[in-house]
Structure 1
Amino acid sequence: MENRQPQRPKILTVLHQERSSPGRVGHLLIESGFALDIRRPPLGDPLPETLEDHAGAVIFGGPMSANDPDDFVRTETDWLAVPLAEDKPFLGICLGAQMLANHLGGRVGPHPQGLVEIGWYPLQATEAGSALMDWPSMVYHFHREGFELPQTATLLATGESYPNQAFRYGNNAWGVQFHAELTRAMMQRWVVRGSERFALCGAQHGRMHLEGRMIHDAVLKVWLHGFLATIFGVPAPSNKLSRLL
């Protein structure tokens, strides 16, 4: 008699470039028993009409804007009605968070003084965020636009230049402006390929990106594990960073 292994629950994983990777988010989800259903809409991959065969979804970042006229940008933004209607766990990271904000009626756009966040910047949890879990004090960014907090959404974390850094909408929709998913190899690629952006107002030079990783990344990784546990039910070692550091 054939001994079949139980099928792993799938997480829809939406990426925006041919060589994009789900990075540490993907690693942690796989290690915790999930399978990744990777789709790249800019390359023609369709999104499912329902998430009934998925345990949740993640939309990652990309160099494009949530306001771009490309068909796939509008399609992804409109598609967010699916996890919201089905109350399936959803996480938007950077561009994904901006798409969620757009879908919910929040404006996405550049900083009024032209500031960007490219490098490591301080993060402050709100009262609601602190009640949920411990948050890192420094996080990694690579963006030129931010988002308004959608109506009825709960702000979880804030920053100096871009006040809306993380939010929750309803029971299962989450958005974060920063990047906790980068492996060391990913960060090195971003620093090389995105070096022209270091001249933008408020950006940090590449050396600061890599030096900051050595200082701040361990805490960020622990936070990510706990955050994924909160969203998808991934087992977490602890919800208190101080116990592990």
Structure 2
Amino acid sequence: MKPIAIFRFFPIEGPGYFATFLDNNHIPWQLISIDQGEGLPGNIYPFSGLVLMGGPMSVNDNLPWIGLLLDLIKQAVAHDVPVLGHCLGGQLMSKAFGGIIEANPIKELGWGKVRVADNPVAREWLGDVKEFELFHWHGETFSLPAGSSLLLSNDYCQNQAFALGIHLGMQCHVEMTEDMVLNWSRVNATEIIQNQASPAVQSADAMQMNLKSRVSKLNTIADHLYRKWIKALKTEE
């Protein structure tokens, strides 16, 4: 099988548990570190899927790689190469599909529950799960692209995840590991303090509470989503 291309936009926002999932399922992958100045591939043909991680920048920023990456996403969709986006990655997908990215009413930083939408597509991705706890770190939100189905919502952000055929875009973070939670809460300490008045922002101590159990449950949810997503990976042609 051709490898999955994983795009990283910020050093501490790597593939996390997704890489573990791929390794456990013997699926090859290649990390493309945009944050280290690595160039984008010219086309999607060397890859079986495209995966986009998170980052502190905005999809609306004037960055030289954003337009090129949007074109690559569109190319993947045109050739039925599955695309998977986490947070910034989900926003890039929405924009590539014609959606709008704008400020969320409030920031979400830390753990928070989400509800699974009551529609057939959501059940295809998450089975009988109705509600669960996810990790969040965002100040912007995406609109649902035309033809997509809402998968997840909560009280602070209506559009937490969408599916468009074989493609999955998420505003939230299902890829978290214990080390990532610890690292993000430490590196972003100032951002937490600046936004502590928000009802959707937790202290670092609250984020780290019962961490092993929380991450284990999150890994189970990630398995559901990732397992369905990999079914559409392109094999050798």
Given the two structures, how large is their TM-score scaled by the length of structure 1? 0.85
**Gap runs ≥5 in structure 1:** 1-7, 235-245
Cα deviation 1:178-212 (Å, max 9, x = unaligned)? 11212111111101001112131231101111115
Moved more, 85-94 or 46-55: 46-55
What residue in structure 1 maps to residue 100 of structure 2?
107
Conserved in 2, the CA contact under 8 Å of 1:9 and 1:33?
no
1:180 maps onto 2:174 in alignment = yes
SS at match of 1:111: strand
**Gap runs ≥5 in structure 2:** 233-237
Shift of 1:151: 1.4
- Aligned with residue 148 of structure 1, among 143, 160, 167: 143
- Aligned with residue 121 of structure 1, among 112, 126, 142: 112
Moved more, 157-166 or 212-221: 212-221
Shift of 1:20: 4.2
What residue in structure 2 maps to residue 57 of structure 1?
50
What residue in structure 2 maps to residue 240 of structure 1?
none
What residue in structure 2 maps to residue 33 of structure 1?
26
Cα deviation 1:119-143 (Å, max 9, x = unaligned)? 1111100123134324451100011
- Aligned with residue 17 of structure 2, among 19, 24, 33: 24
SS at match of 1:54: coil
Conserved in 1, the CA contact under 8 Å of 2:18 and 2:175?
yes
Number of positions where the alignment pairs a residue of Structure 1 with one of Structure 2:
224
C-alpha change, 1:37 and 1:192, in structure 2 (3 Å) is same
What residue in structure 2 maps to residue 166 of structure 1?
161
Alignment of 1:1-245 (within 5 A): 8-18=1-11, 20-112=13-105, 115-128=106-119, 129-134=122-127, 135=129, 137-169=132-164, 171-199=165-193, 200=195, 201=198, 202-211=200-209, 213-233=211-231
Looking at CA atoms only, which structure, 1 or 2, has the larger radius of gyration?
1
C-alpha change, 1:213 and 1:18, in structure 2 (3 Å) is closer
Q: CA-atom RMSD, angstroms?
A: 1.8
Given the two structures, how large is their TM-score scaled by the length of structure 2? 0.88
C-alpha change, 1:19 and 1:132, in structure 2 (3 Å) is closer
Shift of 1:18: 4.0
Shift of 1:86: 0.9
Moved more, 207-216 or 54-63: 207-216
The one of the two structures with greater contact order (alpha-carbon pairs below 8 A, sep at least 6) is 2
